[in-house]
Every structure is written in structure tokens, then in C-alpha cells.
Structure 1
Amino acid sequence: MNGASREAQAAARERLTALTDSTSVDAAALADELAAVTALLDREVSLRRVLTDPAQPGEAKAELVGRLLGEQVGGAAVDLVSGMVRSRWSSSRDLVDTIEELADTADLVAAEREGSLEDTEDEIFRFGRTVASSPGLRAALTSRTAPASAKARLLQELLGSRARPATERLITRLVTRPRGRSLESGLEALSKLAAERRDRSVAVVTSAVPLSDRQRERLGAALAALYGRQVHLNLDVDPEILGGITVRIGDEVINGSLADRLDEAKRRVAG
């Protein structure tokens, strides 16, 4: 996002935080309503352009939001979106992307209130690993011809009795309304959002064998010292790395696997 959109996004996040600090706000319901607004603006290109037109007065755009959404979503969602359209956006797409992010954040707030935010974060990661290991499942969830209702039913069968409600809502929304994203990038974005909610970074740790509790504690402490903040460990096992571990935090990879060192040795010999 460019400068104007970044500022507008930051302001919207602050407003959502202030709104959800009140326990009188149903965070899960707010998430559903913001998701509905996202879907509306995603379909109605001309509408979102009007709502982000810098030539239009902010108050007029806010009044339009009130007229259009007042009978469809609750007052909290109307107030939040009205405040957003008063801001300046670099592109209409940025507004929709931010409303979608706020919907996901509201669901994470709901999980946090239930004391299940960490579980939700772990379940999103595990679901991503399940999809990665099952090409058939990925094909079914990303099919362009399968109706969204069929994908939702499949996810209900997979997650309904095994995952937290917030996890199911977040993943179902991603799968049924991908908005041009790949499933993998969407799941990674959700994991990052959950980690930020917990004020942590996410490290994807791959090892040849499962790490012991002691090893996890030592690795977590070392990464926290390195990055200056808590780091949540998403653990994966891959025997093909032969030994050691690899750690990925965002775009940064710390590679300590034996396989990688052997490959490096081969390159040096060949060179």
C-alpha cells in the first residue's frame, strides 16, 4: 500500500481496537458483517470507486455508507466503514483489502475472548500443512468450478468437530472468497495476523525429527533474543532434511539442515 492507504489502514485498525475493547460488541458478528461488506464492495467496483474518490467530501461518502448498509449490518460495522471512507485511500482495492483484514481481526478477537487464540493460530498452521500434503484436497478447495457452498460443506466436515469456531470461520471465508489469493498465501496471512494479535512473530520450524520440549524452549528463547520479541513456533517434521533444523520467519530463512550443508559442500567441490 502507498502512503495514504497505509495511514488510512492504521487509523482503521485503531478504530477496530477501540471498538472491540468493549465487550458489548459481538466480535464474531462484527466479523461476519465486515466480511459481507467486503463481498459487496468486491462485486460493486463502481461503488468502491465512489467511496474512495478523493474529489468527493468524506461526510457525503459516510452518509452514502449509512444509507446503503444501515439496514444490512449493525451500527458498529456501519460506524467503522463510515470512518474508513472519510479517510484518503491510494486505491479502491486498498479499502476493500483493509475491511477484509478487519473482519479477520474481529474473528481473532472473538477467539481471544474465548481463550483460544493460540489454538486458532496452531489450527490454521496445521490446516495449511494438511493441504500441502494432500493435492486432492487442495484441488477441491481451489477449484474454480466447484460452488462455494460445496467447499463450505467440505470444510465443515473437515473442521466442524476438530477446530475452534473462529478457525472454521476464517478458513471458510478464505476458501469461499479467495479474492484472487492463493490458498497458501491466504493461510500465511491469517497466521501472521494471529501472531500480531498475540504480539509475536511466527517461525516455521522444520526438523528431521520432532523437537523435545527442552529443544523447543531453547529455540524459542534464542529466537526471542535474536528478534527482540516473542516468537511463536509452528513445528513441522520433514525427514528429507536429514538433520538439524530450518527456521523461516517471514522472508528470512535460517538454514541449519544437514541436507543443505551437503548441497553447499557439493557446490563448492563442483566450483
Structure 2
Amino acid sequence: MSSTHEARLGELDRLLDSVQVTPELADELFAVVDLLDRQPALRRALTDPGAGDAERGALLDALFAERLGVATREVVRAAVGLRWASPSGLAAALERQGVRAVLTVAQAAGTLDAVEDELFRFERLVSADSGLRSAISDRSAPLAARQQLVADLIESRVEAATTKLARRAVAARSRSFELTVDSYLTLAAALRERALARVVVARPLSDEQQGRLAAALTRQLGREVSLQVLVDPAVIGGVRVTVGDEIIEGTVAGRLEDARRQLG
């Protein structure tokens, strides 16, 4: 992701954070995204570098003036006013704000911890079940049917926000369901100004061990962390931590692999 693209996303993040975020705002943003996904010609018209701001604004008013709330129109208009590398970039940017809106509402309701944990656990379940993963990622099947499959599996067991985000993740804007959920978890951590640390260990960690690890990572990174712990006996021992693009390798398997590479 280029620095320019990151700056544009950051601008939209700050705008969303400045308005009153409601469940309706999230739903309306997702509805706009779904419309853009269905109509490539509309995406191109709203991102046409040859069109002026007034022209794109008039198109927005014609489409959405009577359909969207004030806050939603403000976010959509700001997104359309930015320059994206491709027409799909606009839809992805608005999807991000819809996800952030869902997470922000959950944070205000005191359920963000539960939503994070439920999303993480379901993503791990999908990753471990090849049949389920294939069913969710089968693009020959209608998206709505695949989203309903996810809802049927978890809707009665998790927070409503978890179901909503899991359904959205089926579209796999970040190349796969699992990577898309990971991007949601990163956004959730960022809302609380935390880093997301994915931890791989050979055996489950106790609450005390997780607390010590979180404290050590906080000291090392200079900010609080949200831990997502994966158990993988293949690591043999120790712990592997991934924070963004940085990998902190402390497993026996990792050290053996390093030695093997050095011996050539």
C-alpha cells in the first residue's frame, strides 16, 4: 500500500471518527458498497479523473440524496472527492469505513472484546476446516448464499456485530476470508490504539502467561497490544509473534530452520 493511499484512508478514518457513528451509518455505507460492486459503470463514473467535483457531486445527489443519512452522505462525498488508483479502490475504502463503524458501535456498547474474540475464533475454525473454507470461498456460488452459510453457522452464538462482519468478510476483499477477517481485527486494535500481535505457541497459554507476554510486547513496541493466540504443535517450543510485517521468532523450530539455512 502506497503512502498516498494510506494518507487517503487516514483522512476518511478521521472523518468517520468526527461524525456520530450509528448502526444505520454502517448499514448505509455497506449498501453503497454493494451498489458499487454491482455497477462497474457507476464506480468508473465516481472515480473518473476527468470529471470535476461538481459533476461527481451532482451524480451522488441524484443517487443518494433521499436515501442516505447526513453522516453517510458526508463520508461518501469525501471518499468520492479523493483520488483512488482504481475504481475498486473507492468501494474498498467505503467498506473499510463500514467495518470501522460496526467496530466503533461495538466499542461504545462494551462488546468490542467479544467481537474480536469471536471473529478470531471463527476465522481459525474456517482456516482449519478445508470443506468449510472451500464452501465460503467458492466464487462459482452466489455471494448471498455463502454469506447465509456463515450466518447460519454463528448467528445464534455470537454478537450481532460479529455476524455482520463475518458475512461481509465472505466477499474476501483482502484476497481470502481469513485475510479479510485479519484486516478487521487490525482495525479493531487500531480503534483502541493497540498493535495486533498474532502469537503462535506449541501449547495453550494461561491467563498469567498471556498477561506477561502482553506486558513484554507493550514494553518492546511502545504501545499496548491485542493478542491473538494460535496453538500449533509444529513450533515445537517457544513462541513466534507477528506484529504487522515484523516477526519475532523464538521457537525451537524457527531456530532449527535458521541453522539449516546457515549450513546451506
For normalisation by structure 2, the TM-score amounts to 0.91
Query: Structure 1 CA distance, aligned partners of 2:195 and 2:129?
Result: 27
Q: In structure 2, do the counterparts of structure 1 residues 2 and 61 end up closer, same or farther at CA, with 3 Å as the change threshold?
A: farther
Structure 1 SS opposite 2:237: coil
Cα distance in 1 for partners of 2:59, 2:97 equals 20
Does residue 1:49 correspond to 2:41, yes or no?
no
* Structure 2: tracts of 5 or more residues without a match: none
Partner residue, 1:213: 207
**Corresponding residue for residue 188 of structure 2:** 194
Alignment of 1:71-86 (within 5 A): 71-86=66-81
- Select which of 123, 128, 131 maps to 1:136: 131
Matched, 1:227 2:221: yes
Q: CA deviation at 1:9?
A: 2.7
Q: Is the 8 A contact 1:58 1:87 kept in 2?
A: no
Q: Distance in 2 between matches of 1:241 and 1:2?
A: 34
Preserved CA contact (<8 Å) 1:203 1:232: yes
Q: Which residue of 1 aligns with 2:143?
A: 148
Which amino acid in 2 is paired with 1:261?
Answer: R
Distance 1:4 1:207 in 2: 37
Match for 1:258: what amino acid? V
Decide whether the 8 Å contact of 2:240 with 2:251 is kept in 1. Answer: yes
Structure 2 CA distance for partners of 1:6 and 1:238, relative to 1, 3 Å: closer
Change (3 A) 1:153 1:53: closer
SS at match of 2:8: helix
The count of corresponding residues between Structure 1 and Structure 2 is 264
Q: Report the RMSD for the aligned CA atoms in angstroms.
A: 2.0
Check the 8 A contact 1:128/1:184 in 2, yes or no: yes
Partner Cα distance (2:258, 2:3) in 1: 41
Query: Which of residues 248, 252, 255 is equivalent to 1:258?
Result: 252
Q: 1:119 and 2:114 equivalent?
A: yes
Structure 1 match to 2:12: 12
How big is the shift at 1:196? 0.7
Residue identity over aligned pairs, in percent, reads: 40
Residue type at the aligned position of 2:177? L
Q: CA deviation at 1:5?
A: 4.2
